Amino acid sequence: MPPLLHLCMSEFINPKRLRALRAKQATPNLKLANIPLSHKESFELWMPKWIPKGRVFSKLEIELLRRDQPRVTKILSKMVWLMGAVCICEDDWDVGDRPPIYDWDDLIEFVQREGNCVNPIVTKVIFSPHAIIPIYDSERKQEGRIPPQAWEIAPSHWSIIFDDLIPTRQGLRLKQSADWISVDIWTGKPMRREVGSGKLYVEYHDLYASRRN
């Protein structure tokens, strides 16, 4: 599947959708980030700043996230339709290769089921450029030694982070969930080459794998 940089972006995504809604008042708990789509284009996304879990967002901030979500969904759903999304839940280990999901509604069903979300909302997107990564055996505390256990060729990809909008008597609030689910849009398959055996294979991994070792 070709990466987005080979497409005429204005034909794929309406340029008007790249710009986020503007806040009418101050939003101290949110920041406006630019998420790369290609070497020239990016889209804006309101994301929560790093704050202690349990911080209360204002009604204005929640409403801004909620009202801008259809625009964000239109962008990401087109990317999922084009390249697919690899979805991994907390209990998935040694994922290897797996078929991506190409339908946004199916992706949301996964998030609701595995992330325990009622009203999923995208609150963060992380773009990771193409990289060659050493893979170490963490159980043997091998990190930093040469050579590593394997090398990975990781194509550029986007990791989508969801939160949950929870209804309360006072209105909606963010759950600020820590459920381990991973939704990634890859421009190609991540390949690993074992140093010892020379074996080459596909190995998808979830966003939080390094935090669970």
* Rounded distance between C-alpha atoms, residue 132 and residue 167, angstroms: 43
Find out whether 175 and 166 touch, Cβ atoms under 8 Å: yes
Does 122 have pLDDT greater than 50? yes
* Rounded distance between C-alpha atoms, residue 124 and residue 162, angstroms: 7
* Rounded distance between C-alpha atoms, residue 11 and residue 5, angstroms: 12
Q: What single-letter amino acid sits at 54? A: G
pLDDT at residue 144, rounded to an integer:
59
pLDDT at residue 51, rounded to an integer:
67
pLDDT at residue 145, rounded to an integer:
59
Taking the model in full, what pTM does it have?
A: 0.86
Q: What is the mean pLDDT of residues 148-177?
A: 87
How confident is the prediction for the chain on average, in pLDDT? 85
Does 194 have pLDDT greater than 60? yes
Does 45 have pLDDT greater than 60? yes
Identify the band that residue 210 occupies on the pLDDT scale cut at 50, 70 and 90. very low
* Rounded distance between C-alpha atoms, residue 115 and residue 128, angstroms: 22
Query: Distances in Å between the alpha carbon of 128 and those of 14, 117, 177, 207?
Result: 23, 25, 22, 11
Does 2 have pLDDT greater than 60? no
The number of distinct structural domains making up the chain is 1
* Rounded distance between C-alpha atoms, residue 32 and residue 22, angstroms: 9
Residues 6+ apart with CB under 8 A from 137: 149
- Per-residue model confidence as pLDDT tens digits over 49-92: 876 666 788 899 999 999 999 999 999 999 999 999 999 887 77
Identify the band that residue 35 occupies on the pLDDT scale cut at 50, 70 and 90. very high
Range of the domain at 155: 4-212
Token pair of 8 as six digits: 């005429």
Closest CA relative to residue 102, chosen from 76, 82, 88: 82
The residue ranges of DSSP E strands in 10-61, in sequence order, are 30-36, 42-48
Q: What is the mean pLDDT of residues 119-125?
A: 93
pLDDT at residue 5, rounded to an integer:
46
* Rounded distance between C-alpha atoms, residue 164 and residue 121, angstroms: 6
**Using the 8-state DSSP alphabet, how is residue 207 labeled?**
T
